[in-house]
Amino acid sequence: MSGNTYDDDLDAKGTDGDGDTGTDREERVFAALPPAQGRGFARSWWGLAWLKALEDTVLEGDQLRKGRVHARQGAVGAVSVQPGRITAVVRGKDGTAQRSDVLWQALSDEEWDRFLDMAVERAGHIAALLDREMPPHLVEDAAGAGVELLPGIGDLEPRCGCEAWDHCPHTAALCYQMARLLDQDPFVLLLMRGRGERRLLDELQRRSAARAAAGDEPGGEAGDGAPGRPGVPAGEAFAARDILPPLPSPPPPPPAPGRPPALDTDTPPPPGVDARAVEFLAADAAARALRILSDALAPGHGQQPPEAELTSRQDAVRLAVSADDERLSARLAQGSGRPRAELDLAVRAWRYGGAPALAALEEEWTPEPGTLARARAALDGAWEDGERPRLRSGGSARWTVEGAAAQLRLGADGRWWPFRKERGRWAPAGPGDPDPAAALAGALGDG
C-alpha cells in the first residue's frame, strides 16, 4: 500500500480538530506532527517515561538512533492508535514511504480488573483519572498490582513494509512519535493497552459507585461512616495535585532563618558540652536549611547539578567563615588539623570562591599533559605583545611572577586563582577567573 493511500485512509476517519477521533471509539488518529527541530521528543512525565522505557528495552541502538532522526525530521505521518497496535506511514531517508506497525499485547481482562480495582481503592488515582489526568504514581502502583503499563524488553513487536526482521528506522521513528502523542494525552497509553478512555472512565465510575453504595470508600473501612478515617497517602495526594480541588502553592520561604533557642540557662550543660558551640551549629543549620529551601523553590532548580558534599576539613572552613567567637575559631582550627594562621588563610580563600578556592590554596596537583598544554596556551595569549610578565613554572599548576610577590594557580575547576606572598606565605589575593591576566591583576593590584 502506498504512503499516500494510507494517509488518505487515516484522514478519512475524521478528527475533532485536535487529532482525536473521539473517545467513544476504540481507535484514535493523530495528525502528523511537525518536525521537532530544537526540542526534545517529549516534555511531559509520561512522554519521558515512554522514551526511557523504549531506550532501555530495545536492544538495537543504531536503529533507534536512525529512527530518532526520522521522527525529528517530521517523517512520521498520521498515527492510528488502537488496542495493541500503533500504525503510521513513515518516510525513509530516500523519500520512500513504508507502512509501519508496532504491536504490543493488550492487557487481559484479569489484568484490567486488577488495574481498575487498584485505581478505585486509591482516592488520589480515581479522582485524577475521572478528571482525565494520569498521575505518574499510577505506573508504580499498577506494577504493585501485577500490571505493567510501560513496555519491557521484547514487548514492542515491529512490523514494517520494508520487511526488516526487527526494529528498523521506520518502526523506531513511530515509537519515538508515540512519546509526543503521550505529551498530548497520556490516555493513549491505556488505549494501546486495550481500553479506550470512555470505556475506562465508565467502568471506573461504575466501580466507584458500587463501592460507595456498599460503604467501602477509598481510604476507609467498609461500613465505617464516621470521621477520622486514615485518609489519603501523601504520595497519592501530590500525584493528583493538578486536578480539582488543587493543592495550595508552596508557601514562600521565610525572609530570615529562625533563631535557635538560647542555651544560656541556670542549668549548666553536661560535662564536655559547649553550649555556645551548640548554639552556633544550630544557627548554622537554620541558615543552611533556608538556603536549601530557597534554592529548591527557585525556577530551574531541577536542572541544576547537585552540590558536591563537603569534607569535614572543608566544612570546618565554611563554619569558620561565620564564626564570631575567638574560642569557636580556635576549636575549628584544632578540629580541622590546621594552625590558626592557616585557618585564617583558608577562611580568606573560602570567601573568594568556596571549595574550589580552598583547593587552590591547600592542594597541589599536576594537570595531565593536555590540560597543561591548554593552560600554557592560555597564558601565552592572555596578554598583548610585550605586556606578559615573566612567569616561572614550579612544575605543577602554579606560575610565579619573577620580580613580584605574586603567583597564579590553575584550579581543577579551570579557573585561575591569584595569590600574593604575605609574611613568607602564599595568601589568596582575589576570586578566580577564566582569564589568567584578569586573575593576576588582582594579585598585583595592591602591589
Query: What is the H or E stretch that residue 79 is in?
Result: strand 76-82
Output Rg (C-alpha) for the chain, integer angstroms. Answer: 32
Residue 104: pLDDT band with limits 50, 70, 90: very high
Whole-Å CA distances, 161 to 63, 96, 192, 261: 16, 11, 21, 74
**402 is written with which cell numbers?**
619573577
Angle, nearest 10°, between helix axes 169-184 and 45-57?
160
**Residues 6 or more apart in contact with residue 352 via CB below 8 angstroms:** 417, 428, 430, 431, 432
> What is the spatial distance between Cα 195 and Cα 404, in angstroms, rounded to a whole number?
79
Q: How confident is the model at residue 189 (pLDDT cuts 50, 70, 90)?
A: very high
Judge contact between 279 and 287, C-beta under 8 A: no
3-state helix, strand, coil in the chain (%, to 5): 45, 10, 45
C-alpha to C-alpha distance for 188 and 197, rounded to whole angstroms: 8
Q: pLDDT of 370-425, one tens digit each?
A: 899 999 999 988 888 778 889 998 768 999 999 888 999 999 889 999 999 998 89
Portion of the chain with pLDDT greater than 90, in percent: 31
Beta bridge partners of 417: 409
Residue 167 · residue 154 · CB < 8 Å = no
Q: Of 426, 321, 312, nearest to 364 (Cα)?
A: 426
Cβ distance 374 to 397 under 8 Å? no
Give the model's pLDDT for residue 215.
62
**Would you say residue 73 has pLDDT above 80?**
yes
Residue of 269 and 19 predicted with greater confidence = 269
Over residues 200-228, mean pLDDT: 65
Confidence check: pLDDT of 280 > 70: yes
Other beta carbons within 10 Å of 233:
14
Average pLDDT over residues 278-296: 88
Mean residue pLDDT across the chain: 82
- The stretch 153-160 carries a mean pLDDT of 90
- Break the chain into its structural domains and give their ranges: 3-211, 312-363, 369-444
Bridge partners (DSSP) listed for residue 392: 400
The Cα–Cα gap between 250 and 252 comes to 6
Quote the pLDDT of residue 415.
93
pLDDT at 202 over 50: yes
Give 290-331 pLDDT, tens digit per residue. Answer: 888 888 888 887 777 777 889 999 999 999 998 888 888 898
Phi and psi torsions of 407, nearest 5°: -150, 145
Mean pLDDT lowest for which of 78-82, 93-97, 215-219?
215-219
Whole-number Å distance between alpha carbons of 436 and 430: 12
Return the closest-CA partner of residue 184 out of 301, 309, 31.
31
Query: At which residue does the C-alpha cell 508552596 appear?
Result: 250
* Cα–Cα distance for residue pair 435/413, rounded to 1 Å: 13
Per-residue pLDDT of 231-259, as tens digits, reads 667 766 666 655 545 556 778 888 888 88
153 within 8 A of 57, measured Cβ to Cβ: yes
Indicate the range of 202-206, 329-333, 360-364, 385-389 predicted with least confidence: 385-389
Q: Which residue has the higher pLDDT, 424 or 16?
A: 424
How many CA within 13 A on the CB side of residue 380? 6
- Model confidence at 174, pLDDT cuts 50, 70, 90, reads very high
